[in-house]
Amino acid sequence: MSIDLKEIIKRFKNGDDAAFEELYKGTVRYIYSIVYAYLLSKEDAEDVVQNTYLKIYALRKRIDDEKSLIAYMKRIAINYAFKMMRKRQTLKIAEPVSNDPEVKETAEEVLKNLEPQERLIMTLFYMDNASIKEICLLTGEKEGTIKSKLSRARDKLREVIANERV
């Protein structure tokens, strides 16, 4: 994210709608990537992102600085994603980022082998470079639980690759 969040937050807190639009444009891909990794559904991820920004708009007076804003956004997005996942009976696999059909198929097969929360933890840890403690705060899980889930997810992926199930 290469936007000047301090200035945008100041304007946003004062009701500047243009600042909200700048905030959205500067952060939406980041929030979407976290949510999509958990839900694996373009439509569901878009719904969660929309709800996240509506909630951020409602909470704008409580935002202190750029660090708390990003933390609020992640926490809100993850909470909405958890709610959506609980509502769903079956897991939907949607379009991965790549347009290469072979890469899409491989990514879908690998992701199918992980539980939704394992996908989220892997994404936060490897793509977002979040620490174990940050992941604990975002998911509400204990440190040992996060480490175990991360380890199990790695093992599953190794097994899938070793058995050439992808």
Strand segments (E) across 60-154? none
CATH class of 97-166: mainly alpha
- Torsion 48-112-114-166 (CA) sign: negative
Distance separating alpha carbons of residues 34 and 23, to the nearest angstrom? 17
Quote the crossing angle between the two packed helices 66-87 and 17-39, to the nearest 10°. 40
Q: Which amino acid is at 32?
A: Y
Residue 104 has pLDDT above 60, yes or no: no
142: pLDDT strictly greater than 90: yes
Residue 95 confidence (pLDDT) above 50: no
How large is the angle between the packed helices 132-139 and 66-87, nearest 10 degrees? Answer: 60
Q: Name the nearest CA neighbour of 111 among 166, 150, 30, 162.
A: 166
Domain boundaries, the chain: 1-94, 97-166
Chain centre distance of CA 78: 6
Q: pLDDT at position 67, please? A: 73
Place of tokens 């809100």: 76
User: Whose structure tokens read 């480490």?
Assistant: 147
Among all chains, which residue has been given the structure tokens 């929309």?
50
What's the mean pLDDT in 85-98? Answer: 48
Angle at 88 between CA 87 and CA 93, to 5 degrees: 145
Q: For the domain with range 1-94, which CATH number is right: 1.25.40.10, 1.10.1740.10, 3.20.20.100, 3.30.390.30?
A: 1.10.1740.10
Q: What is the DSSP letter of 59?
A: T
Decide which of 111 and 20 is more confident.
20
Do 97-166 and 1-94 fall under one CATH topology? no
